[in-house]
Chains A and B, each alone.
Chain A
Amino acid sequence: GDSVTQMEGPVTLSEEAFLTINCTYTATGYPSLFWYVQYPGEGLQLLLKATKADDKGSNKGFEATYRKETTSFHLEKGSVQVSDSAVYFCAQNTGNQFYFGTGTSLTVIP
């Protein structure tokens, strides 16, 4: 069935380091792909999205490219900040349902 697999955490980086969080998906159709972010004690917020192959979603310095050939949607940021510390969820939408990954906890230390 449809699913999302993302990189296990937790991830700890120093400020200004490069970030990659891997995400792959399985889908019967042509899903839309999302990254959501969850700050401590809060609900999820949409970070970025891509709706078709080769689309690049970007927001707040984060980027992810929809790769149909590798069924991937890896999240990247060139220089992380302490304020980026949060849990990141990859998700896909096929039909009427959403499927989320298990989440990757990121801690950025000064």
Chain B
Amino acid sequence: EAQVTQNPRYLITVTGKKLTVTCSQNMNHEYMSWYRQDPGLGLRQIYYSMNVEVTDKGDVPEGYKVSRKEKRNFPLILESPSPNQTSLYFCASSFRQGSYNEQFFGPGTRLTVL
């Protein structure tokens, strides 16, 4: 089944404790992206990747890191999480960046930073 998977689905952590949220897709997609969803703010793009070893900042990259060493994986790293990073996070992928390419979303990761 074609899908985007994220792990973990739920995470409660404390300020300053490094964490990684994994994202993997099995569709051989070139483009991958991370979003955060907050009430009243909708989805905001954190980082995106056009292909392996090619990443770029979205609208809200502060406090986050990403890497794209393999085509299928795009982990999101929070080196020193803070309470303002408490949010619902979505990973998405598409075959290639372009207006005709649908983005497929993962199920989401709900992160709470105490």
Q: In the complex where A89-B43, A98-B33, A100-B43 touch, is A43 in contact with B97 (Cβ < 8 A)?
A: no
Q: Is B41 a contact partner of A102 (Cβ separation < 8 A)?
A: yes
Contact mask for chain A residues 77-94; partner B; CB cutoff 8 A; 1 contact, 0 none: 000000000000101010
Q: How far is the CA of A99 from the CA of B4 in the complex (A)?
A: 20
Determine the main DSSP class of A at the interface with B. Answer: strand
Q: How far is the CA of A41 from the CA of B107 in the complex (A)?
A: 8
Q: Is A44 a contact partner of B90 (Cβ separation < 8 A)?
A: yes
Q: Quick check: is A17 within 8 A (CB to CB) of the other chain?
A: no
User: Across the interface, which residues of B come within 8 angstroms of A31, CB to CB?
Assistant: 99
Q: Is B40 a contact partner of A102 (Cβ separation < 8 A)?
A: yes
Q: Is B59 a contact partner of A43 (Cβ separation < 8 A)?
A: no
**Which residue of B has the minimal Cβ distance to A100?**
B43
Q: Quick check: is B79 within 8 A (CB to CB) of the other chain?
A: no
Measured as residues with beta carbon below 8 angstroms from the partner, the interface class of chain A is: 20 to 34
Q: In the complex where A43-B108, A89-B42, A102-B41 touch, is A97 in contact with B59 (Cβ < 8 A)?
A: yes
Q: Is B105 a contact partner of A96 (Cβ separation < 8 A)?
A: no
Q: Please provide the chain A residues from 4 to 45 with a CB less than 8 Å away from any CB of chain B in the complex.
A: 4, 31-32, 36, 41-45
Q: How far is the CA of A101 from the CA of B41 in the complex (A)?
A: 7
Q: How far is the CA of A41 from the CA of B90 in the complex (A)?
A: 12
Q: Please provide the chain B residues from 18 to 69 with a CB less than 8 Å away from any CB of chain A in the complex.
A: 33, 35, 40-45, 48, 50, 56, 58-59
Q: Please provide the chain A residues from 35 to 72 with a CB less than 8 Å away from any CB of chain B in the complex.
A: 36, 41-46, 49, 51
Contact mask for chain B residues 90-106; partner A; CB cutoff 8 A; 1 contact, 0 none: 10100001011011011
Q: How far is the CA of A93 from the CA of B102 in the complex (A)?
A: 11
Q: In the complex where A101-B42, A102-B40 touch, is A43 in contact with B102 (Cβ < 8 A)?
A: no
Chain B residues at the A interface, C-beta cutoff of 8 Å: 4, 33, 35, 40-45, 48, 50, 56, 58-59, 90, 92, 97, 99-100, 102-103, 105-108
Chain A residues at the B interface, C-beta cutoff of 8 Å: 4, 31-32, 36, 41-46, 49, 51, 89, 91, 93, 96-103
